[in-house]
Amino acid sequence: MSKGTLFDKVWDLHTVGTLPSGQTQLFIGLHLIHEVTSPQAFAMLRERKIKVLYPERTVATVDHIVPTENQARPFADSLAEEMIQALEKNTEENNIRFFNTHSGNQGIVHVIAPEQGLTQPGMTIACGDSHTSTHGAFGAIAFGIGTSQVRDVLASQTLSLTKLKVRKIEVNGDLAPGVYAKDVILHIIRKLGVKGGVGYAYEYSGTTFEKMSMEERMTLCNMSIEGGARCGYVNPDDVTYNYLKDKDFAPKGEKWEEAIKWWNSLRSDEDAEYDDVVTFSASDIEPTVTWGITPGQGIGISESLPILDELSESDREIALQAFEYMQLQPGESLKGTPIDVCFVGSCTNGRISDLREAAKFAKGHKVAQNVKAFIVPGSERVKQQAEAEGLHNIFINAGFEWREPGCSMCLAMNPDKLQGSQISASSSNRNFKGRQGSAQGRTLLMSPAMVVAAAINGKVADVRDLEVN
């Protein structure tokens, strides 16, 4: 029923036709690829002797498998080396732009496309990675796809998709100090559930989002998928345009003026009709930390862990599993839980503003003994900028390791892995069983500032109690 929303407008403008199944054949403006989900897609094209239809609309980077300690080639891990070589070959053979390591432009796919201005309002964007929803921060319709769909986009630049419903999520008010976009999205997922967004696109509106920077909006949209929504977006505004202006791939001169007019016309209309509307108040949100095995199992830092009898039947079952796996007890405080590893990075929170905020709290403190803490910039550009600002020295002096860019311990497809049942404070986006490289590894999701607070205290702590030097 959604009518007059940005989602509706962008969807309709990219509709090539309606398929006999009733699905839409949707044109994809920008296709982002990386080393993990593209090799089989290219192999399938090769088998059928099909060429990439619009190579100029595809951009590649390498992120999941790159080591963060030493990126000299060949990589020590032969499988990782094989994967990067396959991507090098596939992009070269098909004339696809590839941001390789040491190019100055490499990084996590959802960090590099926005920072270079590839991601723009009104686009349809697809990538073989769930967190493609990040790009919705610009008012784009962006979603993750599977390997066979990567093949379809390479071959036809289109996808067959069922149109989503639109839920407006309105949050109003100012966030308290120590509360970030990460806390807002963890709060939303906690309230609406990890499956609450299935079949929906989330439109984030309200004064809280209007005041957010683009990087905060990216953190927000990034985790839409963790709430079950295929994509999430914010209507483009001056914040969007100020961020995009003069970026490498952004329109220039007269085209820039035309683009702004065009982008403004795509904003959801005042009288747009939504399939659902949900409202939250920013003042109800405090630093939020997950305690369980889904991103929906989160609590405010001053709350206690849930009591099983107080949960619904469906929540109780997954809570039981979570308590057992996480070695936590119902009703206890999460604050004070000892931490083994602290990780700041990922496509959720590995941007320059995240590192600035983390450095603000790390400055003049020391990482607690027995805690391994490391910072992984989201891209080469983020790393370069952080070093220009001296942030790396703040981290190193505090006892953090300063690494090369990549996905790192978000997914642990590289050597950065938890060991045994180690527990991590992580600025990433998924806390599933075994997500960080050990089958028994445990993950607590939180904002970068809260990760730093955990690193310094050696246990889960409230960043609002940390002295800022």
Token pair of 404 as six digits? 């090369």
Q: State the alpha helices, DSSP H only, in 179-283.
A: 181-192, 207-210, 214-222, 238-244, 254-266
| For ligand SF4, the closer CB: 64 or 442 | 64
Q: Which is nearer to ligand SF4, 33 or 108 (CB)?
A: 108
307 C-beta neighbours (distance < 10 Å), count: 10
- Does position 457 interact with ligand SF4 (CB under 6 A)? The reply is no
Q: Does 133 bind ligand SF4 (CB under 6 A)?
A: no
Nearer to ligand SF4, 113 or 466 (CB): 113
Query: CA–CA separation, 320 vs 130, rounded Å?
Result: 27
CA atoms of 468 and 361, how far apart (whole Å): 6
What does the DSSP assignment read for 144-186? E--HHHHHHHHHHSEEEEPPPEEEEEEEESPPPTT--HHHHHH
| Window 13 to 32, contacts with ligand SF4 (CB under 6 A) | none
If one asks whether residue 119 binds ligand SF4 (CB under 6 A), the answer comes out as no
Residue 432 CB, shortest distance to ligand SF4, in Å, is 11
Q: Please pick, from the candidates 35, 63, 215, 380, the single residue that binds ligand SF4 as defined by CB under 6 A.
A: 63
> Is 127 labeled as ligand-binding?
no
Phi, psi (rounded to 5 degrees) for 430: -130, 135
The residue within the footprint of ligand SF4, chosen from 91, 149, 414, 429 (CB under 6 A), is: 429
Give the whole-angstrom CA distance, residue 234 versus residue 116.
Answer: 19
Least distance (Å) from ligand SF4 to the CB of residue 264?
A: 30
Nearer to ligand SF4, 1 or 439 (CB): 439
Instruction: Judge whether 410 is annotated as a binding position.
Output: yes
Q: How many residues bind ligand SF4 (CB under 6 A)?
A: 14
The minimum distance between CB 286 and ligand SF4, in angstroms, equals 25
Q: Annotated binding residue at 347?
A: yes
Exactly one of 41, 52, 87, 108 binds ligand SF4 (CB under 6 A); that residue is: 108
Do the strands 298-300 and 24-27 form a parallel or antiparallel pair, or are they unpaired?
unpaired
Cβ 224 to ligand SF4, closest distance in Å? 12
Q: How far is the CB of 163 from ligand SF4 (least distance, A)?
A: 26
Judged by CB under 6 A, the chain residues 328 through 347 that form the site for ligand SF4 are 346-347
The whole-angstrom separation of Cα 266 and Cα 335 is 44
- Cβ at position 22, least distance to ligand SF4 in Å: 31
Q: Is 232 helix (H, G, I), strand (E, B) or coil?
A: strand
Residue type, 391: L
Closest CA to 300 of 202, 178, 422, 213: 178
Helix (H, G, I), strand (E, B) or coil at 239: helix
Nearer to ligand SF4, 201 or 407 (CB): 407
Residue holding tokens 């929540």?
315
Exposure of 79 by Cβ count < 10 A (0-12 exposed, 13-18 middle, 19+ buried)? exposed
Q: Taking CB under 6 A as the rule, does residue 33 contact ligand SF4?
A: no
CB of 440 to ligand SF4, least distance (A): 20
411 near ligand SF4 (CB under 6 A): yes
Positions of E strands within 29-138: 30-33, 58-61, 97-99, 124-127
β-partners of residue 277 are: 168
Q: Does 64 bind ligand SF4 (CB under 6 A)?
A: yes
Beta carbon nearer to ligand SF4, 68 or 297: 68
For ligand SF4, which is the closer residue by CB, 59 or 347? Answer: 347
Cα–Cα distance for residue pair 304/307, rounded to 1 Å? 9
Task: Report the candidate in 341, 348, 417 with the shortest Cα–Cα distance to residue 186.
Answer: 348
Query: Please, which of residues 379-408 interact with ligand SF4 by CB under 6 A?
Result: 407
Task: Identify which of residues 110 and 365 has a Cβ nearer to ligand SF4 in the complex.
Answer: 110
List contacts with ligand SF4 (CB under 6 A): 63-64, 108-110, 129, 131, 346-347, 407, 410-411, 428-429
* Residues flagged as binding site for [4Fe-4S] cluster: 347, 407, 410
